[in-house]
A and B are shown apart, each in its own frame.
Chain A
Amino acid sequence: MLKDAVETKTTYEIIKDSAVEAGLTQLTPERIQTVILETLESETGPRLKAYVNMCVHCGLCSEACSYYLSNNKEPRFAPVAKVKNTIGEMIRKKGRVDNDFLRQAVQIAYTECNLCKRCVMYCPFGIDVAYLMSIVRRICHKLGITPQYIQDTAHSHAATMNQMWVKEDQWIDTLQWQEGDAREEIPDLRIPLDKNGADIMYSVIAPEPKFQASLIYQAAVIMNTAGVDWTMPSAPGWDNSDMAMYTGDSEIMGRVKRAHFEAAMRLKVNRIVMGECGHAFRSVYDVGNRWLSYKMPPVPVIHAIDFYYELISTGKIKIREKFKEPVTLHDPCNVIRGRGLMEKSRYVVNAICENLVEMTPNREHNFCCGAGGGVINCGPPYKTRRMINNKRKAEQIKETGTKVLISPCHNCHSGLEDICHHYELGMDVKFISDILYEVMEK
């Protein structure tokens, strides 16, 4: 049995967030109403109306949501309830909502929904609850009541074009540092910066140079061993992450994505390969591109899973000896439900590991990690509650009986580590590249 996560806090409460509180003091009822009505009028259309008016409150979406399942089926956590208690009320009251309502709306939209879209597959009408929650976040952003920690990352995007306040020289230094270290292992290894006309631009999220530089090392070894013609941009645009997408700051999202695409275009690469990150993929492949009026990304975007699949299946990377310990594999929403890479990720994991134990449910129906969609980025104030909300995920992982958990997504990775720690699962969370680097012929 799982250690009971609910022992510390059983009752539902609205968590105090200093940025939300500060934002609320600046608002007047008129301002709130104006922002809500203007956003609904100028940024939404018949889709939102249809979703909200058509929903027959059948409740079939409820069991899709791990929040609902983690909280003993408490109604407020069902997707339909989240819609009703946020955008539903805003529409019904024609924007005349008060601060208490907004506090609750912030908590629901930013911390009780990962925008994972699992419930979309459970609604007979295909109502996109993630879209509805995004509209709530958009309104909260415009009202200036975004949770503090995630807002800080959005500020970082705005000021530096990356998520972690990484300065340009730090970025280049980090790459050279990793190149230097890796050359002790592979003497002629390079991390080519700004190589014009390379086949691939490799992009990462800012937490990699900030505190997970070994991932860049591993990527460099994989690229060099496979003999890939690759490059990384030295100038802003190297970061593919995008928390502005999740705060509701579409304008900053657009700037960040433009910088990313333009970095690739400037370097005249054929395609962008990105590291094992889910939300960045969503942003580049599905959301940010649309804001910039690209139906599909202007430069082909390949997620790491897809890329490893290509390298292994074409024999560019050979496996020396498979990883022996049983592993389980988490299906991140943004690349599985968002890009259909479920069979490729299994191909890769089976190529590098001897024993893959599936989670149940899996593939498109996998439970969300509970961290993505910007939820983990809302930071420490919400962590205890997040752990309670992730109970179902913890059970699902534990049922596999494995000690190694592969998660090809950064947000999932961090969230799953929290879960493993909190529920004392004693599991090691790894990226595919952690194992691939270990078992490949170099």
Chain B
Amino acid sequence: MRVGMAVLLLLLATVSGAEERLQIEVDRPGRAELRFAVQRFRSGPEIDAGFRETLYRQLVEGLEYSGLVRVIDPEAFLEPTETEDDHRSIIPCDNWRAVGADGLTEGSITSRRGRIRVRFRLWDVPRCQMQGDPGIFEAPIEQVGWLGRRIADELLLRFTGRQGVSATQVAFISDQNGSREVYLMEADGSGKTLVTSNKSINLFPSWTPDGKGLLYTSYRNGSPDLFFLSRGAKRSKTLVDRAQPKYRAVYSPKGDRIALVMAQGANTDIFLADRKGRKVRPVTSASSIDVSPAWSPDGAQLAFVSDRSGSPQIHIHDLKSGQTRRLTFRGNYNASPAWSPTGEWIVFSARTGTNFDLYLISPETGYTTPLVVHPRSDEEPSWSPDGRKVAFVSSRRGDKEIYTVDLDGANLRRLTPRFGNCTAPAWSPWLD
């Protein structure tokens, strides 16, 4: 009888607790971007209004540069457009939710001894919680624009797990002064600055993994040679003390080795050297032209171009086993491989007809998909450090110009309008 009563009670409890259930499947996001509300940061009278505005503009542009975020027009805010208190423990989330914000950024600016100090906070509005601790960034006051973009990249890291790249730079070659010199520009194409000025032919800039130095090839001494330039230094120094012509060099992801292209008899081969250009040893020694080395993100493999099969094709060399395999089989001219930071893809240029287009190929499976296809040539790709964008050279408007594009083909951006012929873009790592 006791058992019967217990069963009865359990049954009653179950029945009375049952609630109507409804299953809903959502199979498509309604919008591609996240929506951010950005308040102008609070500042004291010591901060020039122009600096404050520059910081705000660069922060907004940095967020939108990612292609992942759309910044909400402050005119739509139900709350003040300027941060009133960036220490409060709660914000009126309903009001921010009402304007459709996924994230809210607020902060304050102070300055001291020529340096600007920004304290900022990021709120996850739908969940009404702060995303991480308050961040504090500092920079010389003349770098206020960079600071705004750097904060934007940090906000993206906190919200999406992947740091933005708006505060990175692109090194490239331009002939706008008559000779081919190395230049630097911000990732959005602004702030172009001359790096070399030797009135010679300079080629193939590439970054050290910490972003504090550049390798490049120069004909300044008559034959092609490798040079290294530290950030802030005025003079470059030669690298790899060998008599043979040296055409191109790239640092390994850890920065402990250099892969370089050097003449070997009538051909060129790939060589390895230590980080100072010493202890040079061959990687390939075929009777073919081997050029354009590109490191895998783990530093264990090198992709390169070789014509050993009769036409330029992309090959992969495993440094541990010493084995080389051919990766591309379609087309009769595949060149300029660049391994994505995630390791998932190699982007390369493939000749189609008389022009080149950009394709992605999986180094594991060989699966190939187009990235940029245009009637004019698109070539010389370089990955952004987050692996979401590619910089490349296109002649779609006549001169060779540098563009960037997202991995899904969206957000095509022209970086070097009216700047002569621009080639060999090299996207920097994250810079701090």
Q: Do A and B share a complex?
A: no
Interfacial residues, chain A to chain B (CB-CB below 8 A): none
Interfacial residues, chain B to chain A (CB-CB below 8 A): none
